[in-house]
Chain A
Amino acid sequence: MSEPVFEPKAPLASNIVQGWTAKSDPASVFEAARAEMLRQKRAAMVLGAVLFLAAFVASVVVGEVDLAEFVDGVPNLLNYLSDIAPVLRGDHLVEDVGEWHWSFWRWLELLWDTLLLAFVGTGFGMLGALLVCFAGSRNLVQSGVVYFAARRLAEIARAVPELVYAMIFVFAFGIGPLAGVLAIAVHTSGALGKLFAEVNENIDLGPVEAVKAAGGGWLSTIRYGVIPQVLPNYASYSLLRFEINVRGAAVIGFVGAGGIGQELMYVIRQFIYSDISAIVLMIIATVIIIDLSCERLRHWLIGREGFS
């Protein structure tokens, strides 16, 4: 990067020698430059506004936005919300809650399965990420081909949404949690692989060179020079990814890949109203609990001295 150089539009020194003229005195040179800058800025803003408006109008047309339809739909929405709301009466509260959550224990089991799905998927995704991340770090591999291949591999794994993998895997492995685990694992290995590689690229190279100088091979360089530096970040990113995957695992059942999503899809499609709110509430509670406990765990890990 080169420093920006100040270049006056007119040769000032020679102007001073030749005497002041209206066109070339520093103040008017400055004013002219400023006016030019403002004009450019205004032109850029007008262009930006026009592009934005064009994108907006095109999106409204293509996206079939119909506010009348929405307004007509609002009563539907309110009806829907009141339909899915449970019947709770003050004098029969316990019975009513019991009836609302009539298959609480089965749903809890499904939620437990959902958590396990996210857990195993994140675990295998981490393993996959570890396999690609060192080869995908510019500062750790010499060969440009290896770097390029690892980065593209992670990109492809990351760019295809979980649900698309899930649809394909459901076809291959049949309906059930196996397809979901594999889908989450493949997507996670791409997402974490990229993050891990970026962490690797920001390390202090001192320890790496020390291990190399002491005669260590590539593997011991990674093990003793890189891993101790990056492990806290890996743990932090993996926990974040686990939170994301819990949300993902809750809906991956929509395409038949296990977890609570399958049940939720069923009750929504069959209009079993009070079950919808019961299950959604349980999902929200689970997600909030997982988020809070991951946050605690993350702070504990980061706060520990000499974590390795």
Chain B
Amino acid sequence: MSRLTVSAEEVARYRSMTPRMFGPNLRERSLRWGVALLCVCFSLYAMDRTGLFDLASIWDGLGKLGFLLNLMFPPAHNGYFWDFLGGIAETLAMAFLGTLGAALIALPLGFLAAKNVSASRILRFFFRRSFDAIRGVDQLIWALVFINVVGLGPFAGILAIIVADAGTFGKLFSEAIENASRGPVEGVRASGGGRLAEARLALLPQVFPVLISQTLYYFESNTRSATILGIVGAGGIGLQLSDRIRVNNWDEAAFIILMILATVSVIDYASKHLRVRLIGKHG
């Protein structure tokens, strides 16, 4: 057996030939450590500013949280079961109509904002930026605005979901349309179809499964978010939940939370099956 020996000169030679083989050099290493140190310092500052080093109140709060959890068990409806079920139904109705309305509004807008449909650059820019601005405002803020228009109740929540999601759908739909293949479009054009025929016969069949899939996905998501719109007074189960929390009815609050969990998982399950039925396994 021969021993492999490497002399110091050889090491130096290889180091000068391929410096990166021996790992990062001093500059890179110090830069890396510097960035890491900066991140740590920033995190500590952020934690301090958000009150995570206020150990006394954290300890105090954990005690109270344990007390609350204790009050939550066993969850009980105390005779309000049908009221809660009505709230859940209202929540589902809000999610359904909100998602449907948003999808219907966003469909034409998505076409107008897509690069391969809309020729006008200014129009496209206008729609894109409007979608971004609408999406920048949370559903809850929209709900507060619509409460001023149609008063307290689920209708305000529906309008909030429609407006907020029209922005999201507009963006998603226009991206899906831009990703569609050009072949069918050229086929329709070659056989003498106008722009409307192109959109209807060449683009829509291609993007339809994507649109359905995204709409279903947002229906699930809106079921979750519709549960909290009631906190600001826009209908749904959230109103009952925040009332129960406000007056310290923790066992009923826990019961409502469990009902929300059950509803959300039923909707997820149903929408998964619906998606498979409508667009096949790989949608």
Contacts and interface: CB of A to CB of B under 8 A. Distances in A.
B170 interface: no
Contacts of B96: 55-56, 59
B49 A159 contact: no
Given A119-B46, A181-B50, 7 more contacts: A62-B92, A63-B155, A66-B155, A172-B62, A173-B60, A174-B57, A284-B137
A64 B87 CA distance: 12
Interface string A156-181: 10011101100111011110111011
B257 A120 contact: no
Contacts of A120: 43, 46-47, 50, 52
Q: Is the interface of A mostly helix, strand, loop or mixed?
A: helix
B136 interface: yes
Contact of B144 (A64, A119, A268): A268
A262 B224 CA distance: 22
A61 B231 CA distance: 21
Interface of B: 43, 46-47, 49-52, 54, 57-58, 60-62, 64-65, 68, 86, 89-90, 92-94, 96-97, 100, 132-133, 135-138, 140-141, 144-146, 148-151, 153-155, 157-159, 224-225, 227-228, 231-232, 235, 241-242, 245, 253, 257, 260-261, 264-265
23 contacts: A56-B96, A59-B92, A62-B93, A63-B155, A64-B155, A77-B149, A116-B49, A120-B47, A155-B265, A159-B264, A160-B257, A161-B224, A163-B231, A164-B228, A173-B57, A173-B61, A178-B54, A181-B51, A247-B136, A255-B242, A280-B137, A283-B136, A288-B133
Which of B65, B140, B224 counts the most A-chain CB atoms under 10 A from its CB?
Answer: B140
Contacts of B154: 62-64
Interface string A165-206: 001110111101110110000000000000000000000000
Contact of A254 (B136, B140, B225, B253): B140
Interface in A59-103: 59-66, 69-70, 73-74, 76-77, 80
B69 to A, nearest CB: 9
A295 to B, nearest CB: 12
A50 interface: no
Nearest to B153: A64
A178 B49 CA distance: 9
Interface in A253-293: 254-255, 258, 264-265, 268, 280, 283-284, 287-288
